[in-house]
Amino acid sequence: MSFLALEFDANAAEAERWADALLDAGALAVDTADPHVGSDREIARYGEPNLTTASTAADLWPVCRLSALFGKDVDAGDALTRVSAALGTAVPAHTIAAIADDDWVRKTQQQFQPICAAPGLWIVPSWCEPVDPKAINLRLDPGLAFGTGSHPTTRMCLRWLALHLSAGATVLDYGCGSGILAIAAAKLGAGAVDGIDADEHAITASRENARLNNVVARFDLAEAFKATTYDVVVANILANPLQLLAPLLAARVPARGHVVLSGILEPQAAAVIAAYERWFTIDVWNSEEGWVALAGSRINDDG
């Protein structure tokens, strides 16, 4: 099977609307990236935080390059015309090119290579051999879910787990995406590990990645979990949802338990800290490429 790749540039503030509309119009996947540096390929609807919200993308670059993948039997040009009309804008300048199936797979694999997330901890795509066989190697198929280890927010969470997770600790990965953080916790010696996500694609990817890594971790939609507490709750989402989720996540952490939050741009850190400091002693733990990870300890069981 061959594919058609549609590419065009759009205002970053409108990137999410374009991506969702293209997916609704039949696109199999949509990448968004800085047009000046190339794609850090993530599927827009399930991608890394810098690619999934218009406000975040606009903070990083004013213009996004969107790349939409269509099946060969779909008229990509007609799809773009229909999407443009639905969004009330002119059809942008664009290119459409045929891509062979094996070329698309090879392109995807070239963009995901082994990543050293922390000393002795590697993320290894399933088609690659480990760089360090003696290290803890997380085998990963990115699938349609966020979390390849290529983004700073994921790497910072992995580093925190590698440095601070106690053996036997219970862990909740809220917004698990590909399951990478939950699987890392299990490999690092955690006890019971759970992953929650609102997207069934993420649950499917997480379960498959857990199987691939031969770890025991439970992944499901939020409504399938009973209310319980965990020694560590990690959430790599986005600043606005994290603020709204503060009471819910705090309720999942007992006194002296820990919360690790990422998907936060540096200017957003103060607002997220303010949302959590009722329950936690919390501050910026690490920063990378304009992103921060917060870490906090629960100081009470109130509220």
Task: Give dist(CA 220, CA 55) in Å, integer.
Answer: 28
Query: 150: number of CA atoms within 13 Å, CB side?
Result: 23
Query: 187: number of CA atoms within 13 Å, CB side?
Result: 23
Q: Which of 47, 80, 109 is the last residue of a domain?
A: 109
Both 228 and 264 in one domain: the answer is yes
Both 105 and 73 in one domain: the answer is yes
Q: Which of 109, 125, 143 is the last residue of a domain?
A: 109
Task: Give dist(CA 231, CA 274) in Å, integer.
Answer: 22
Q: Which of 44, 77, 109 is the last residue of a domain?
A: 109
Predicted confidence at residue 51, as pLDDT, reads 31
Is 44 a residue whose pLDDT tops 90?
A: no
Weakest mean pLDDT among 105-109, 244-248, 291-295: 105-109
Read off the pLDDT band of 102 (50, 70, 90).
low
Most confident of 27-36, 234-243, 253-262: 253-262
Weakest mean pLDDT among 129-133, 155-159, 207-211, 268-272: 129-133
- Residue 56: inside a domain: yes
- Residue 303: inside a domain: no
Find the CATH number of the domain harbouring 271: 3.40.50.150
What total of structural domains would you count in the chain?
Answer: 2
- Residue 154: inside a domain: yes
Closest CA to 163 of 295, 1, 45: 295
Both 144 and 50 in one domain: the answer is no
Is 279 a residue whose pLDDT tops 60?
A: yes
Paired sense of beta strands 291-298 and 280-288, if any? antiparallel
Cα torsion 176, 185, 213, 43: sign:
positive
| Residue 95, Cβ density class (10 Å: 0-12 exposed, 13-18 middle, ≥19 buried) | exposed
- Residue 31: inside a domain: yes
pLDDT digits (tens, 9 = 90+) for 170-229: 999 999 988 999 999 999 999 999 999 988 878 988 999 999 999 999 999 988 888 899
Domain that holds residue 186: 113-298
Both 190 and 232 in one domain: the answer is yes
